[in-house]
Amino acid sequence: MTAAIIDGKAFAATLRAKVGELARAFEAKSGRKAGLAVVLVGEDPASQVYVRSKGKSTLEAGMASFEHKLPVETTEADLLAVVEQLNTDPAVDGILVQLPLPSHMDEQKVIAAINPDKDVDGFHVISAGRLAVGQPGFVPCTPLGCLMLLKDRLGSLSGLDAVVIGRSNIVGKPMAQLLLAESCTVTIAHSRTKDLPDVVRRADIVVAAVGRPEMVKADWIKPGATVIDVGINRVPAAEAGKTRLVGDVDYAGAMSVAGAVTPVPGGVGPMTIAVLLRNALVAAYRNAGLALADGTI
């Protein structure tokens, strides 16, 4: 048996096109573009790439992009002042502060300063609380993207056994909350879990968000299970001096057992920015008091 490949790249492209259509409709109704602000402190090369790509994607979706690039020596107080100015700017619907911040800043304090109604990353404690109690709010982009892929593949998730490997605040925990809200029976596994292979073998749905290359082996996977691989790990390639990306799952092995698997790259990765744009658009409709029916996007 060969598993189906879950094409996150294609799904993300469709989602971005839908966001673009709704962004045009938003502009027609409100007389302004939906706006996403991204704040970058310092010159971390990976963060610079992410911020550039978020800005470009925002413009492509027909939204306004506001980039604030601050020098690494910016004080926490000055960063908080920028966040406060964005909180009150009516042209800004979503605010994203690119992490990690330089070590002289308290990330939790900075995230807590973002207006929860503009918290498109979903990292604010109020966003986490809203997700936990089932109120409308913002959900972190990567796990929400994983859920979209799962529902597209499986339809109803009700009653399925789901195992999430990883308990970070940005992936594992919100992923588990989302699956619980879909009426899955959810197990959260982590670095102290005993007999992880046995735990994973129970799962109809496996979400791996660990950061360990190809840790999940084929014989951990229940035949027919749906496997979502969040991991992005750089490992040496066959060609000397080159590297390649692999996930947290042994992809070739999983393909011989599972029902469906996300590849790395081209699975979960492209979903993250697409969902960020989706969240910014939803923020714009909410902030402008315009209706966007549940399930529209």
Instruction: Report the C-alpha gap between 155 and 3 in whole angstroms.
Output: 17
Give the residue nearest to ligand NAD (CB). Answer: 168
Determine if 279 is a binding residue for ligand NAD (CB under 6 A): no
Q: Interface mask (CB under 6 A) for ligand NAD, residues 213-242, using x and -?
A: -----------------xxxx---------
Sheet holding 161-165, edge to edge: 4-5, 260-261, 226-229, 205-208, 161-165, 185-189
Determine if 187 is a binding residue for ligand NAD (CB under 6 A): no
Determine if 186 is a binding residue for ligand NAD (CB under 6 A): no
Nearer to ligand NAD, 158 or 191 (CB): 191
DSSP the chain: --PEE--HHHHHHHHHHHHHHHHHHHHHHHSS--EEEEEEES--HHHHHHHHHHHHHHHHTT-EEEEEEE-TT--HHHHHHHHHHHHH-TT--EEEEPSSPPTTS-HHHHHHHS-GGG-TT--SHHHHHHHHHT-S----HHHHHHHHHHHHHHS--TT-EEEEE---TTTHHHHHHHHHHTT-EEEEE-TT-SSHHHHHHT-SEEEE-S--TT-B-GGGSPTT-EEEE---EEEE-SSTT-EEEE-SB-HHHHHTT-SEE--TTTSSHHHHHHHHHHHHHHHHHHHTT----TT--
Kindly name the residue from 93, 98, 173, 177 that is annotated as catalytic: 98
Taking CB under 6 A as the criterion, the residue among 58, 272, 279, 287 binding ligand NAD is 272
Least distance to ligand NAD from the beta carbon of 275, Å?
Answer: 9
Least distance to ligand NAD from the beta carbon of 167, Å?
Answer: 4
Known catalytic residue at 121? yes
Nearer to ligand NAD, 92 or 207 (CB): 207
Determine if 269 is a binding residue for ligand NAD (CB under 6 A): yes
Determine if 191 is a binding residue for ligand NAD (CB under 6 A): yes
Instruction: Report the C-alpha gap between 123 and 109 in whole angstroms.
Output: 11
Least distance to ligand NAD from the beta carbon of 19, Å?
Answer: 17
Binding to ligand NAD (CB under 6 A) within 194-213 occurs at: 196, 209-212
The window from 36-44, 73-81, 116-124, 267-275 that contacts ligand NAD (CB under 6 A) reads: 267-275
Determine if 57 is a binding residue for ligand NAD (CB under 6 A): no
Taking CB under 6 A as the criterion, the residue among 35, 94, 122, 172 binding ligand NAD is 172
Known catalytic residue at 250? no
Kindly name the residue from 93, 119, 121, 248 that is annotated as catalytic: 121
**Which residues are catalytic, by number?**
54, 98, 121
Binding site for ligand NAD (CB under 6 A): 142, 165-168, 170-172, 189-191, 193, 196, 209-212, 230-233, 268-269, 272
